[in-house]
Structure 1
């Protein structure tokens, strides 16, 4: 299986050492690359533009492009633009992770954008959207030594499935804030507690892939409060004990653990002030971070201030609150006080990145946009 590719998208003769991708390049396992569907893919050539990579391009309108490679980390270098018109492109990656959101490029300009992503189950898939998306060229290069930022957590962190749009976890939006020096690997899973995440072997999956100088952000608490045997932990004993195991795995692999206090739910009292439904679980994370001298992102405090500022009505634009007919996939409406819609998840990811910058961890601080 080839691990390095250079693709030239459009209609004309490919650039030097590039593989030409046209509007008829449909993915097949034998080919190892191509679009999943050609129904919304078109190729354009700007007459008079002689540059091999900028004179023609593909418009991938809500289209997915797949490249088969061995599992691992890869840096992608994308060239995007149009000689005649403004463009706007968004790109999602594995499990809907946001890689690039609403990238605007003025007419006559071309920009290179780089990111590092994990290949999962032998493939990289890029999902293109936006009002006027473009792709001129793409390079796929192995990046085995790139830093990996692992996420361990629950549904507030996870990559929510596409059929639940606009549901999103803050970890799903985090890659858009990370430079090409690092990749985000989101192992957070809905419904998991610090206990069940370990029992299901997910922490062990992270341990197997973790290497020195990687990072792991750890946020649990929502499901640790559930009273079933498989998930419940007591904040001042078992919850701290299980979180300590994540810290131990990082130290065993010479990586850096970062504890994250659980983000608040949308729960307001009669005076319009946010209620703390996590209680001693937040305190336990603080105490463990101090005891183990582990960096801490206090997302509980950040979300408390943010949600109080927005108030009961304003926070509906952060959480999955939709009127009947507002969201295509929820025609009867939805009222969810725990999970986020995409714009809210992006705000929380931005808060996490701001907190990480404040910590001044090196080299992580250099990898944050």
Structure 2
């Protein structure tokens, strides 16, 4: 064998080894019975740790049940009427998650959140004896940039599930979990989100943002990678190397949704302003993402809850929504006018009822809360869910390529006819916080 051929074969072997090293494919069978073929048995006592890279997390308590039967995957399961967590240590990337839910003898109801309370599945019901299989995509990120730099995380981000080294799933309601598969996938369109506290994955109740609700409205084929953070402007997002991080991992055909304005309007430098630094920076985001073959989408800022004497939502964002619209027109990119849609949403609810979309809660609604919460910028889960619907409506209206991946149960939504907040239900996660997110 000549030297060149030997080098070629060695290179192929090394490449294949690298592919195998990057391949992640877990199959778990839950419950005390015999494990299904090629599945890892997960007992109620299987806990995540530094030594065991998968298991129940955060002191979760579940009951193991063995119903018997020929289908080993469905024969046994774990159940709980309280929230529980399951984590798997994985590297950065997009992951296909497939769940087998149901119980041979009892009904079940399941809502699934991933990482920092991203809504993935909503109210999946099974009857006694029924099992359903549901799949979704979870993006896992880290702070490392390929050139050796790192994202400049805020102190509050250092403990967030969004930035740790594992994929965590939260199961709510009355979950009956029989099986779980997690596999790394490379064929997803990734939608990156750049924004502030109205977009970020809020980790604690009762805070929420549209960026953490929107995964629920997409089928496999699209992964939502939320890089937003509370308190940020276009400038501080870029300055903390978050745009660099996105550009380092995005691929041609991916999307970048850009929503800023609330915090930018507080910048008072000589070169600051809607038609100055804000416009210039937004054009930079657009042009840099276009350079890698990506598709930028500009999203105008959500309206604040502020009603005028005429009983209608008034603009508190100055020229910033208009500046964003102009950039979209000049740069010939899609625009989702969330500023207009959220105003319609609040007007439809009315001045008093619109509080139901924001963090407005009487004292003692949450542990150690001795004073009322009254925030007219930041949303609760209901408000975030309705605004995510507005974004999905915008995706359809703009005829973006990812529209074909919107779930089949998404009806035609009209912000002027929002869901009734008294009927809409949300299973709260265990952790809550009284600390207001950065920014206003």
With structure 2 as the length reference, what TM-score do the two structures score? 0.79
Change (3 A) 1:283 1:37: closer
Cα distance in 1 for residues equivalent to 2:230 and 2:91: 27
For 1:142, the equivalent position in structure 2 comes to 184
Match for residue 222 of structure 1 among 262, 268, 279: 262
| Partner-residue secondary structure (3-state), 1:179 | coil
Match for residue 3 of structure 1 among 19, 24, 32: 24
For 1:93, the equivalent position in structure 2 comes to 114
Match for residue 77 of structure 1 among 98, 105, 125: 98
Cα distance in 2 for residues equivalent to 1:329 and 1:303: 32
Query: In the alignment, does 2:79 pair up with 1:59?
Result: yes
Alignment of 1:1-369 (within 5 A): 3-37=24-58, 39-47=60-68, 49-60=69-80, 61-120=82-141, 121-130=164-173, 132-162=174-204, 165-227=205-267, 233-328=272-367, 330-362=369-401, 364-369=402-407
State the 1:357 CA deviation. Answer: 1.4
Change (3 A) 1:245 1:122: same
State the 1:95 CA deviation. Answer: 1.9
| Partner-residue secondary structure (3-state), 1:309 | helix
How many residues end up aligned between the 2 structures?
Answer: 363
The Cα offsets for residues 236-278 of structure 1, whole Å up to 9 and x where unpaired, read as 1211111111111211111110100101000111232111111
Task: Determine if contact 2:44/2:61 at 8 Å carries over to the other structure.
Answer: no
| Partner-residue secondary structure (3-state), 2:345 | helix
Could you tell me which runs of 5 or more consecutive residues in structure 1 were left unpaired when the two chains were aligned: none
State the 1:320 CA deviation. Answer: 0.6
Change (3 A) 1:176 1:329: farther
Task: Determine if contact 2:187/2:221 at 8 Å carries over to the other structure.
Answer: no
Cα distance in 2 for residues equivalent to 1:337 and 1:278: 13
State the 1:98 CA deviation. Answer: 1.4
Q: Which has the larger radius of gyration?
A: 2
State the 1:228 CA deviation. Answer: 5.5
